Structure 1
């Protein structure tokens, strides 16, 4: 590295032209990058849940809705608004159909057809028994020989038997409209043609719906009437806009803070430019490679610019700081460049290799977001070191030719008072540090994992909040799971199995109800109609004068139900039929599974996936179950399964890499120790700070392993070469370590400004980790090194054979003198 840096110092124009050309190519490629915040995009296409989603989109079309909510009007005006809007939305080319009414009236009117003939006979028997009892007691000549109560007309046992079924759930609401009179709110559901994963289509269709609303005279529905849009499509757009905004704000703030710190660190605008020029070139090269390899960035890699920028600036602080110190000793610019890149640059290369290997371990994850983050971050770390070797020496050579020399204030190393304190209180500081870390370790059992999916999707966005209110108004989830089948027989088999599983699990079931078109048309209807006619004859003889108003209302509803005629699929309400129609129109092949649990609850979605997976078709094949809940469950399972292996792999990879590059296991363990100690201290500190792991911020742990180890490498490397002057080395290297960790923290700390809770938690946890590592690197680790060094000197002093001790220290073992010696 020293020779290459000296070469670029001597030929600055050639090096800078090459760097500039690569940067232009990288920027031209990167300008086509797009952001993909789709949840399905977090998993590779090889996962069954992802393949099922794609199959579902081809056969079934879009999941979810564009939901228009009208608010603040009386019920009559809300219904009028829904009736007026529906045909105008259906006229839009991207809308398949619009739903404004429930099938409640139809299913209530035909409710008795969904009872078994045996249960209908039981209803007839109970009514007949009660009528017989009433006639007997109405006869003045009748004398009862016992005090038996009147036969009960309580049908709650039958209601309980059929409760939870699709028909019961679909007919339970008293209003035929999706209307909440108390909240003064009505809902209009528009089903688009294409999935909400297609952001361009989502934006287009939502804007078209907004255009229709703008053309309406909303004032005719009341003075305070207004509309809002929510649903899957609006939520995807809002999430995308939020992340894009977070990227812009976080990156800008990170850049400003890094500039401010570098100016305070070096007190020179030129020095700031010397540090940032290689970082800018390295990021341009990295994102050019990202554009060629992936073509887009995901939820995590979108922020890698700020993160890599902070990590890259750390190399510049160490390299330029060492260069300025060497110039202060009287070295020439080229000699100082060669020396800085030979030693400090070598340490930077080791730390970059170690960090890159750690990121590459993260890149083995099946979770696409983690894998791409690991690969891009690992390549970016190496590219940044290359950019420093090419750009920084060339710029230094160029400004040296122009006669620039560092100011004396830039080359002087101010003695850090803390260095003297550490020398005099090394034992006390080591003991206190051990006690504090031991105390934090006692908090490890309180460490928790947050299974709320809000780390992946911000549930606080207005569209998410309104969507939950719409779900409550509708009474069930807008986005069910879909089981793909190919015949009525397969539909019936799937419905039967899922209902059996739901009944078996009881209150622990995560399935609300299961619906298929075939299951909404009961069998044996002719047989049931004959029984209903008999019940109708009994109801004619009921003495209405003795009934309460409520009982008379129930009697009239029952008379309507027994007069209902048998029906077929064609007689089902259009709003029901079209929910089971795929892109090709009417046909078979869909069973809808509505979850009872909140889909933001990760644990519940894992249980739901277990409950619905493994359903067998009549031929023995496993049915394909599709839906975002299945994708979420796979994401959660993948993170839970891979996390221990990634953490262990990261640690072992770092240790092995440092062992090879530093030339000794003891040195490698010493360099790794501050990272390991600070990591365990952070884990113990998290419960005290009320912080929890989630599906995104857990990647901070391997990142901390890879990015904080370089501080130990720099300190050990410098102490090994200048062990006679601890305070000078500590003052110079400690300043660089502090600056490097602070700029790294700024890169991650920018995520604290993100509105997205998952990204925010990454920034919070990373900064706690960098802060703890900084404290240990500046206090605990130097004190421990001095304690170990003092013990070594004492051991040498009491050793009877210094020569043997020297040989032991070199690892060759003691020799017995021989005559030849």
Structure 2
């Protein structure tokens, strides 16, 4: 016996919408189409920020200080030109021609091709410590006094054959020391294997500005073509453009190209899957058009609320294609059932929105709530993703509730779909054999428990290798090869200080901090500034005076007593002692540019490490070191700003690790609260949520078995899996509660099959990302496929069988037995 209950205000409103839709379908369709004009205009201006630096809030110290240094530095971006060095003479001529051609470009700040190392070779003595120079003078005087009395006449102990003065630096050692202190003693930058000659084209703009980066890269590319054409160079001479600007453009073009490919393909694949499954061409319009309207609304919202997409929210088109079309699938299935029950078009339309529409509203709000938890994250990647996805779930729901019934009414009036009435008893139920049922009921929880053990023992790995996530492109590989070939150390931070006096204090503070820390927790190999290129004026004056004293001693040597080799060495030694103090403006620009600021507003220090960072723990460790440096300098009252992209990377990982537990627990709490309101029963909410958690737990084991790692790009898939599986579980439970445990075989036939189609649309939408070249985007596809498949099994196969075996109807008072 059924009991009547009063429909809720939402149900009455949706039923009223159904009546209006039946009467005025064309008006609703025209309103939807009209809304596409402003929404499409807004959405067309939506861009993608493909830099990892955009994943943290602007007010974070690492981001704020990075921009502060970029605003002050003279050098913020470059294009490295690598020239085939098989014929060194041809390579050098090409580099000189490129430098001459680029010198007239207004966008180019400088070109570093051949380095003026002679400047430092002539001033080597000014880079030697005063104590060492004083020892040199004393040793020279002693040696000359001794050798004057000998037949050879000139022996300053340069060869040190007898090891008599091992405790005193020789002139040869002096030159080596000076050379080591000088920025470079190579006129040309050639890779260690001799394969490539390198030159740098320096710009003042930021490589993060894509318009500027494209313009700068184009300037260099055109210059290369002009020089090759006009200079008579062999057409086989290979020239490659890498460096910060080239790498930035390559990363952006790959990720944008991948998204531009995956989005439409995912949308088309979802539509074709629906058409092929439902075997109805009209389903193409009924389901795809409302979905497309909802997607356009969503990206218009993104343009207004966020301004652009980041590398995580960028794949929302594929995700929302799969999630958003689920609304239409369930409306279509339920409409067909209602017509088979003998309802007229008007009755079916009104009841469809009043009942199924009400369930879809609950599901849409639940899914939006899941995404809104991500919107509370500190990590901008999750924050923006959550906001846009939550809005997208609601907007696609509204578009579907308006568009599907209206288009359906128009379609049915134009050409009614022949649907013969079907008696409930004639529905072919799915009867699962007892042995299979027991096997499923035992295997699914066992796999979930095993997966939890795998997770607890570290079997699921977090991938933090930037290169792996960026993808394996030729530009990336060559850029890394050149950097490793040219440098024994790697620049990992740049520090802005107010003046050179404070710079010396900062250098000393960093060295003291490193000395106090364990060697395995300190990566700073050196910290260099202007004082390493231009010694302090007082020190230079003292060293120049000592060099003059050394010259006095060397002038006592009589050249006629020396052989030709000895005279050459004496002349070279005398030449080196003729030094005068110099200033920053006297040094070739290529050697001081990295330390100078715009308008000489302070100075820069370059912090270098002996290795580059790839793994998560290495990057997080470096970020901790930079924070320690920042805190120590602040404690000493120094005002500095630190630029370090790896610091930002470490902050990203640290933020993800901090946000992870909050997002997981918050998502589950929000879902549970929404389920309590929807199902109006604690046990019912726990049962539905439990079916979701079983599938989610199994994801850990599946990841370990398949080799799929978690990373900061695909971590956002987890709440999506919760939303998808929650839809399935709710549909199963609503039908079970309405029709009872004995109806489970029919539920498996109808609702589980509808859930399968819904899950397949998500698999297809996500699967399109597997076509991407970007490894991070591909990882999203792989994890989504695992998550959707496992949660489908737990909610649409295991869950109804568990309800059939153990469940009892938990129906709130007053709810009818039949929907």
TM bin (shorter chain)? 0.7 to 0.9
Give the Å deviation of 1:608: 3.3
Q: 1:485 corresponds to which residue? A: 497
Specify which of 787, 802, 813 is matched with residue 769 of structure 1: 787
Specify which of 611, 617, 622 is matched with residue 608 of structure 1: 622
Give matches, 1:393-432, under 5 Å. Answer: 393-407=405-419, 419-421=430-432, 425-432=436-443
User: Conserved in 2, the CA contact under 8 Å of 1:415 and 1:727?
Assistant: no
Q: 2:4 corresponds to which residue? A: none
- Tell which deviates more after alignment, 30-39 or 304-313: 30-39
Specify which of 776, 782, 788 is matched with residue 806 of structure 2: 788
Distance in structure 2 (CA, Å) of the matches to 1:767 and 1:472: 38
Distance in structure 2 (CA, Å) of the matches to 1:712 and 1:671: 6
Q: 1:391 corresponds to which residue? A: 403
Specify which of 28, 50, 53 is matched with residue 41 of structure 2: 28
Give matches, 1:657-672, under 5 Å. Answer: 657-672=674-689
Give matches, 1:558-707, under 5 Å. Answer: 561-562=576-577, 564-584=579-599, 586=600, 588-609=602-623, 610-611=625-626, 612-616=629-633, 620-707=637-724
Q: 2:544 corresponds to which residue? A: 529
Question: SS at 1:392's partner residue?
Answer: helix
Q: 1:318 corresponds to which residue? A: 330
User: Conserved in 2, the CA contact under 8 Å of 1:514 and 1:592?
Assistant: yes
Is 1:440 aligned to residue 451 of structure 2?
A: yes
Give the Å deviation of 1:788: 0.9
User: Conserved in 2, the CA contact under 8 Å of 1:490 and 1:618?
Assistant: no
Give matches, 1:275-354, under 5 Å. Answer: 275-354=287-366
Alpha-carbon spacing, 1:136–1:407, altered in 2? closer, same or farther (3 Å): farther
Specify which of 776, 779, 785 is matched with residue 758 of structure 1: 776
Give the Å deviation of 1:261: 1.4
Distance in structure 1 (CA, Å) of the matches to 2:422 and 2:63: 57
Q: 1:815 corresponds to which residue? A: none
Distance in structure 2 (CA, Å) of the matches to 1:687 and 1:550: 70
Distance in structure 2 (CA, Å) of the matches to 1:511 and 1:736: 59
Specify which of 486, 507, 531 is matched with residue 518 of structure 1: 531
Specify which of 166, 176, 186 is matched with residue 175 of structure 1: 186
User: Conserved in 2, the CA contact under 8 Å of 1:481 and 1:625?
Assistant: yes
Give the Å deviation of 1:51: 2.3
Give matches, 1:730-769, under 5 Å. Answer: 730-769=748-787
Specify which of 199, 210, 217 is matched with residue 206 of structure 1: 217
Alpha-carbon spacing, 1:496–1:543, altered in 2? closer, same or farther (3 Å): farther
Q: Deviations over 1:532-578 (max 9, x none)?
A: 45556777899999x99999999997776555443332332221133
Q: Deviations over 1:461-508 (max 9, x none)?
A: 222222223323432678653322222222222222233334555464
- Tell which deviates more after alignment, 279-288 or 463-472: 463-472
Question: SS at 1:697's partner residue?
Answer: coil
Q: 1:381 corresponds to which residue? A: 393
Q: Deviations over 1:767-791 (max 9, x none)?
A: 11011112223432222222213xx
Distance in structure 2 (CA, Å) of the matches to 1:170 and 1:130: 28
Give the Å deviation of 1:199: 0.8
Question: SS at 2:377's partner residue?
Answer: coil
Question: SS at 1:644's partner residue?
Answer: helix
Give the Å deviation of 1:102: 4.1
Alpha-carbon spacing, 1:166–1:201, altered in 2? closer, same or farther (3 Å): farther
**How many residues are treated as equivalent by the alignment?**
783
Question: SS at 2:802's partner residue?
Answer: helix
Specify which of 20, 25, 33 is matched with residue 12 of structure 1: 25
User: Conserved in 2, the CA contact under 8 Å of 1:166 and 1:514?
Assistant: no
Distance in structure 2 (CA, Å) of the matches to 1:663 and 1:608: 50
Q: 2:817 corresponds to which residue? A: none
Distance in structure 1 (CA, Å) of the matches to 2:570 and 2:724: 75
Alpha-carbon spacing, 1:169–1:225, altered in 2? closer, same or farther (3 Å): farther
Q: Deviations over 1:694-732 (max 9, x none)?
A: 121112222222232110000000111112322112100
Q: What are structure 1's unaligned runs of at least 5 residues? A: 140-147, 794-805, 813-821
User: So what's the TM-score if we normalise by structure 2?
Assistant: 0.86
Distance in structure 1 (CA, Å) of the matches to 2:120 and 2:382: 48
Q: Deviations over 1:60-113 (max 9, x none)?
A: 245231222211442222222222211321321111111123465544554443
User: Conserved in 1, the CA contact under 8 Å of 2:205 and 2:212?
Assistant: yes
Distance in structure 1 (CA, Å) of the matches to 2:172 and 2:703: 50
User: Conserved in 2, the CA contact under 8 Å of 1:367 and 1:639?
Assistant: yes
Alpha-carbon spacing, 1:151–1:708, altered in 2? closer, same or farther (3 Å): same
Give the Å deviation of 1:245: 1.2
Q: 1:817 corresponds to which residue? A: none
User: Conserved in 2, the CA contact under 8 Å of 1:718 and 1:729?
Assistant: yes
Is 1:118 aligned to residue 131 of structure 2?
A: yes
Question: SS at 1:593's partner residue?
Answer: strand
Distance in structure 1 (CA, Å) of the matches to 2:272 and 2:334: 20
- Tell which deviates more after alignment, 326-335 or 730-739: 326-335
User: So what's the TM-score if we normalise by structure 1?
Assistant: 0.86
Distance in structure 2 (CA, Å) of the matches to 1:53 and 1:453: 19
User: Conserved in 1, the CA contact under 8 Å of 2:341 and 2:422?
Assistant: no
User: Conserved in 2, the CA contact under 8 Å of 1:324 and 1:411?
Assistant: no
Question: SS at 1:592's partner residue?
Answer: strand
User: Conserved in 2, the CA contact under 8 Å of 1:455 and 1:694?
Assistant: no
Give the Å deviation of 1:246: 0.7
Distance in structure 1 (CA, Å) of the matches to 2:393 and 2:460: 31
Q: 1:142 corresponds to which residue? A: none
User: Conserved in 1, the CA contact under 8 Å of 2:192 and 2:485?
Assistant: no
Distance in structure 2 (CA, Å) of the matches to 1:107 and 1:810: 88
Q: Deviations over 1:45-66 (max 9, x none)?
A: 2222222233233322452312
Distance in structure 2 (CA, Å) of the matches to 1:126 and 1:63: 47
Distance in structure 2 (CA, Å) of the matches to 1:632 and 1:624: 17
Alpha-carbon spacing, 1:645–1:126, altered in 2? closer, same or farther (3 Å): farther
